[in-house]
Structure 1
């Protein structure tokens, strides 16, 4: 895509970079109120059946995801025009989703500025190795990477580590304001959880909050994973990297059923979001529909997205994600080819 087309594409999306206070407030109401009611319903159902509790918790976890989308928009300054309003709502929704507002805001800004850039990996993204990097890595590094990319680890232990442990500490090099916001988030979390444990008992609290936390965390990691880890994604080194190409080609359009699209705050239109983070979640679909070039973005549905579980390494030559199995087969063939060359060279060496 050429630079003039880049400029035109961003110009087409620009009209959607506006907030609507009424829509934002309405979204807060239809997200936070149901979340509180569902949490209470899950608690009340403990006296009926824990299976019913779990069913309610799964629905509630969807509203935690929707709460995170509000938090996410506040981080981009796209939920309200007022910076103060974004900061306040962002901090509150950050407590509800266990994510410190300023820490995530700053790390996520780096993610947007470096997404799909092979020379600037490591902040706000998942650990991705290229085939060449994996082949030249030590046994310990390969083992660590394979464990990290194992689905049960990434989507089972991953949410627990990230949301319960990692986000409780400040990033290296964090400035004072960011550090204070992390401390504030942790203090509010302790106060909220202590109050709930006092009100209903720690066992009941754990039986309700535990499933909601785990399911919402798993879904959150999955959404982030699948929208950048699809077969024909986009990765380039810094000298060839393009912000617009990274947005349109390196982010997928995750086409979900309407109910799930609503619950996930339209985040499936991830290509639009990466192209223009200032577009609030409730205008992402409109921006996509009004911009024909964006229709060419890779579209995946739920069934197709499951294939991404096989994609572990980025192949720079083929320009696509590949599985460990494919790389192992390639390395074995390369080894046999080298051995064959060595064998054919032995007679001539012996002759000399």
Structure 2
């Protein structure tokens, strides 16, 4: 697709200074509107080449277990978990109304996939829309994001509250225990929307019912032990990978957070979301979710068109770019320093106070 340049537009840049950065973000929104149209055939193919390998790998894991090779079943869980992540990303696109042109097709595919990903589709879609509408806003934290305190807020906490935040931010909690809790327990109730009417409850309970029927059917078919050995590792690995991806997309050193008066959605989208520059095969397996700055700026672009955006506009590659090795260092960044406009570690915050 050819690039479309609006007349009299400011040239793109890679910084995120207040004012000019917002103008740049709006410039890119106009450009990106040309990539929004989904292809029904491409979407169907993407769904098939994700679901079929997942079913095949799941079956292979069960077959290996039935032959007494549980170790092989666990090895197969690794790629199977990757395809389950990809299935979740298709559900994610459905939630944005981008996988198919029609809303009903998006919603019903999303609801069915929600049973497989243990994620109530309609409830999640609502929470995720809030995330997109408030990401990077220090005065509107709390729904659809990772809890992030400012240095000043953390220093004002009691000793017990600091310990609780440190535990929450510990890698074993954030990326191991946390994903298990999120997908197996928290998603079973519409947290955040408990008093928001019947819709979140219907979404959650209908998904729970679907999960119960699928689990009961598979346990009846292959046995309880086989199901647990085969499916639990796949689900846990997918949950851990999903939380890691979400974390890196916004928790990097030079992300953008602003107070309500200075915050703009466009600036936060382009400069507060990372370009997680992964190897090509990981980009494919994660449905290009690493091109997150473009996704946040124009969430109606189908994921399979995101690489086309970078191809047509290579200047977008360097905005918020993080490589795989660099992303590992993001784990220590846990507090927002308003004075320096960057995420810092507990050690950095302690040193700055001296």
TM > 0.5: yes
Does the 8 Å CA contact 1:9/1:293 hold for their aligned counterparts? no
Which residue number corresponds to residue 139 of structure 2? 119
Contact in 2 for aligned 1:13/1:291 (Cα 8 Å): no
Residue 180 (structure 2) pairs with residue 169 (structure 1): no
2:62 aligns with one of 21, 43, 57: 43
| Corresponding residue to 2:72 among 52, 63, 70 | 52
Tell whether 2:301 aligns with 1:279: yes
Pair 1:151 & 2:171 matched: yes
Deviation at 1:178, TM superposition (A): 2.6
Deviations 1:145-178 (A, max 9, x none): 1010000011111011110111100232333223
Distance between the aligned counterparts of 1:6 and 1:79, measured in 2? 24
Whole-angstrom CA distance in 2 between matches of 1:81 and 1:70: 14
Deviations 1:239-297 (A, max 9, x none): 11121211111111111111111000000100000000100100011123323552341
Q: Which has the larger radius of gyration?
A: 1
- For residues 137 and 70 of structure 1, do their structure 2 counterparts lie closer, same or farther at Cα, with a shift above 3 Å needed? same
The answer to whether residue 243 in structure 2 is matched with residue 224 in structure 1 is no
- TM-score scaled by length of structure 2: 0.91
CA contact (8 A) 1:62 1:263 kept: yes
Q: Contact 2:176 / 2:240 at 8 angstroms: preserved in 1?
A: yes
In structure 2, stretches of 5+ residues that fail to align are 1-19
Does residue 209 of the first structure (1) align with residue 231 of the second (2)? yes
1:86-113 per-residue CA deviation (whole Å, 9 max, x = no partner) reads 1110001111110000110000000000
What SS is found at the alignment partner of 1:254?
strand
Q: Distance in 2 between matches of 1:143 and 1:4?
A: 41
Normalised by the length of structure 1, the TM-score is 0.92
Q: Which residue of 1 aligns with 2:103?
A: 83
CA distance in structure 1 between the aligned counterparts of 2:169 and 2:297, rounded to whole angstroms = 27
What secondary structure is seen at the aligned counterpart in 2 of 1:227?
Answer: helix
CA–CA distance in structure 1, aligned partners of residues 168 and 225 of structure 2: 31
Indicate conservation of the 8 Å contact 2:115/2:210, yes or no.
Answer: yes
Residue of 322, 336, 345 corresponding to 1:300: 322
| Structure 1 residue 73 corresponds to structure 2 residue 96 | no
Q: How many residues align?
A: 332
1:26 matches 2:45: yes
1:298-349 CA distance string (max 9 Å, x none): 2111111000011011111111111111222333x2xxxxxxxxxxxxxxxx
284-293 vs 11-20, greater mean Cα deviation: 284-293
The correspondence of residues 328-339 of structure 1 with structure 2, limited to 5 A, is 328-331=350-353, 333=354
Q: Which has the higher helix share?
A: 1
Distance (Å, rounded) in 2 between the aligned partners of 1:53 and 1:136: 49
Structure 1 vs Structure 2 CA RMSD: 1.2
Deviation at 1:233, TM superposition (A): 0.9
Change (3 A) 1:5 1:298: closer
Distance 2:267 2:314 in 1: 15
Question: 1:140 offset after TM fit, Å?
Answer: 1.9
